[in-house]
C-alpha cells in the first residue's frame, strides 16, 4: 500500500495514512453532481417547495435503501413536514437489505414509492458488456437513475428532487476527478455500448426499443431542481443510524453503499490498483474527536479488510446475475484496473 504524505495517529497507536491531507484538494464536480440548494437554507427550501405544490405531493426523493438517502427521506418527511414521493431505479444490483429497507422505511413513514426499470434482458447485456470491457457497471446504474428521474418528473409534474449526496465528504478525495470509471454523458455511454454490441448480442431493434434509456438527456427537463439535503444539515454517522432505527432501517455487512451488490467489488479493485479505496479518503477526512471517532475507525478497518476472498458472495452474484465466470472476472480486473 503506497505511503502518503500525511498521517493520523490516535492515543491508542492506531494510524491512518489517508487522513488529514495537508493540501486542499481541488475537485471539479460533473454537471450531474451539481445542485440547486442555493443560499436559502433549509427553511427557505421548504417554503419554496411548498409554494409549487399542486396536489397531494410536493417533491420527489431518490431512494436507494442506503443510509444517506434513507435519512434524507426521514428528515424531509418527519422533520421538514414535506410529503414526498420516493422513487428508485432497479438495476438488478440492488441488495436484499436495500430492498427491505426501501419497503420498511416507506411503509413506516407512509410515503408513496415508485420503482422503475427497463427490459431486464437488455440491462443484463449492458451490465455484462460494461463489466467485461470497462471493469464497471456503474454507467448502467447511473443512466438508470437519470432515466427514473425523467420518468417520475414527467408523470408527476413535480420538479424538486431531493438526493442523499453529500459534497462535504465527496470533496475530500485523493484524485481530482469525482469518478473516473463511469460515463457522464449519453454520447460516452452510447459509444461504449456500440463497442460491445456484437459480442453481447445487442440488436439495433433493442436499442430503438430502449431509445429513452439510451438518449435520456435529449428529453431532460431543464426545470428540475436537484437538492442535496445532507449538504444543508449538521449530522454524523451515529446520529443517522440511531434515527433510522425508528423506521426499521438496517445496515448491511459493509458500511459502504450497502444498497449495491457491486460496490465492494469496485472498492476491492480500486485497492488493487492504487492501494486505497476512494471511500477511504472520504471517511478518513471525517475522523474527529468525540463519539464519531470509534464509528469512523470501524468503517476504515472494515474497508481495509475488503479483499477478493471477502467478496465471494458478490462474485457469485455476478456469475448468477450476469453469467460472468471467474476467468472473465479476473481478466476484466487485469484489463481495466491493473
- DSSP assignment of 148-214: HHHHHHHHH---EEEE---HHHHT--SSSBS-SSS--SHHHHHHHHHHHTTTTT--HHHHHHTHHHH
- Taking alpha carbons only, the member of 75, 56, 53 closest to residue 228 is 75
- In this prediction the pTM is 0.87
* Tally of domains within the chain: 1
Is residue 101 scored above 90 in pLDDT?
Answer: yes
Looking at the domain assignment, is residue 320 inside a domain? no
Between 41 and 12, the higher pLDDT residue: 41
C-alpha cell at 230: 445532507
Confidence of residue 175 (pLDDT cuts 50, 70, 90): very low
Under DSSP, the state recorded for 12 is T
Is residue 313 scored above 80 in pLDDT?
Answer: yes
- Residue 195 belongs to domain spanning: 30-253
Looking at the domain assignment, is residue 306 inside a domain? no
- Which of 22-26, 41-45, 81-85 shows the lowest per-residue confidence on average (mean pLDDT)? 22-26
Percent of the chain predicted with pLDDT > 70: 79
Looking at the domain assignment, is residue 209 inside a domain? yes
Confidence of residue 283 (pLDDT cuts 50, 70, 90): low
The residues, ordered by sequence, that sit 6+ positions from 217 with a Cβ below 8 Å of its Cβ are 146, 185, 186
Between 42 and 162, the higher pLDDT residue: 162
Looking at the domain assignment, is residue 311 inside a domain? no
Residue 22: what pLDDT?
Answer: 47
- Which of 42-51, 203-212, 302-311 shows the lowest per-residue confidence on average (mean pLDDT)? 302-311
Residue 217: what pLDDT?
Answer: 86
Q: Where are the beta strands (DSSP E) in the chain?
A: 8-9, 15-16, 59-62, 84-89, 112-116, 160-163, 225-228
Residue 253: what pLDDT?
Answer: 80
Is residue 71 scored above 80 in pLDDT?
Answer: yes
Confidence of residue 272 (pLDDT cuts 50, 70, 90): confident
C-alpha cell at 235: 449530522
Looking at the domain assignment, is residue 299 inside a domain? no
Between 188 and 292, the higher pLDDT residue: 188
Crossing angle for the helix pair 312-322 and 263-274, to the nearest 10 degrees: 120
Residue 213: what pLDDT?
Answer: 96
Is residue 4 scored above 60 in pLDDT?
Answer: no
Quick: pLDDT tens for 205-227: 999 999 999 999 888 888 899 99
Confidence of residue 257 (pLDDT cuts 50, 70, 90): confident
Residue 301: what pLDDT?
Answer: 76
The residues, ordered by sequence, that sit 6+ positions from 337 with a Cβ below 8 Å of its Cβ are 135, 269, 270, 272, 273
Looking at the domain assignment, is residue 287 inside a domain? no
Calpha distance 241→236 (Å, rounded): 9
The residues, ordered by sequence, that sit 6+ positions from 95 with a Cβ below 8 Å of its Cβ are 65, 252, 258, 259, 260, 261
3-state secondary structure of 116: strand
Query: Which CATH number is 73's domain given?
Result: 3.40.50.620
Residue 53: what pLDDT?
Answer: 80
Looking at the domain assignment, is residue 43 inside a domain? yes
What sign for the dihedral angle of Cα 262, 215, 148, 242?
positive
Looking at the domain assignment, is residue 192 inside a domain? yes
Burial of residue 174 (CB within 10 Å: 0-12, 13-18, 19+) is middle
Amino acid at each position: 500500500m503506497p505511503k502518503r504524505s500525511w498521517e493520523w495517529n490516535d492515543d491508542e497507536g492506531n494510524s491512518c495514512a489517508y487522513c488529514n491531507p495537508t493540501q486542499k484538494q481541488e475537485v471539479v464536480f460533473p454537471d450531474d453532481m451539481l445542485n440547486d440548494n442555493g443560499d436559502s437554507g433549509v427553511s427557505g427550501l421548504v417554503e419554496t417547495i411548498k409554494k409549487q405544490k399542486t396536489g397531494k405531493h410536493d417533491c420527489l426523493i431518490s431512494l436507494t435503501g442506503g443510509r444517506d438517502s434513507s435519512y434524507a427521506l426521514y428528515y424531509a418527511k418527519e422533520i421538514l413536514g414535506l410529503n414526498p414521493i420516493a422513487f428508485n431505479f432497479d438495476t438488478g444490483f440492488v441488495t436484499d437489505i436495500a430492498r427491505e429497507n426501501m419497503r420498511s422505511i416507506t411503509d413506516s413513514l407512509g410515503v408513496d414509492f415508485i420503482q422503475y426499470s427497463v427490459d431486464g434482458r437488455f440491462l443484463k447485456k449492458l451490465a455484462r458488456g460494461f463489466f467485461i470491457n470497462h471493469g464497471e457497471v456503474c454507467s448502467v446504474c447511473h443512466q438508470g437513475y437519470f432515466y427514473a428521474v425523467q420518468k417520475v418528473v414527467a408523470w408527476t409534474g413535480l420538479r424538486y428532487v431531493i438526493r442523499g449526496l453529500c459534497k462535504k465528504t465527496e470533496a475530500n478525495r485523493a484524485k481530482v476527478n469525482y469518478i473516473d470509471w463511469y460515463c457522464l454523458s449519453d454520447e460516452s455511454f452510447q459509444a461504449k455500448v456500440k463497442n460491445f454490441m456484437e459480442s453481447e448480442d445487442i440488436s439495433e431493434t433493442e436499442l430503438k426499443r430502449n431509445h429513452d434509456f439510451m438518449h435520456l438527456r435529449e428529453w431532460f427537463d431543464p426545470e428540475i431542481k436537484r437538492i442535496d439535503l445532507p449538504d444543508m444539515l449538521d449530522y454524523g454517522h451515529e446520529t443517522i443510524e440511531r434515527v433510522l432505527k425508528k423506521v426499521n432501517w438496517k445496515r448491511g455487512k459493509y458500511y459502504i453503499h450497502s444498497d449495491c451488490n457491486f460496490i465492494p467489488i469496485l472498492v476491492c479493485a480500486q485497492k488493487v490498483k492504487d492501494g486505497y479505496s476512494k471511500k477511504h479518503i472520504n471517511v478518513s477526512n471525517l475522523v474527529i474527536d468525540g463519539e464519531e471517532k470509534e464509528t469512523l475507525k470501524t468503517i476504515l478497518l472494515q474497508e481495509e479488510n475488503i479483499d477478493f476472498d471477502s467478496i465471494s458472495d458478490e462474485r457469485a452474484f455476478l456469475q448468477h446475475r450476469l453469467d460472468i465466470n471467474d476467468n472473465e472476472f479476473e481478466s476484466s480486473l487485469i484489463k481495466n484496473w491493473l
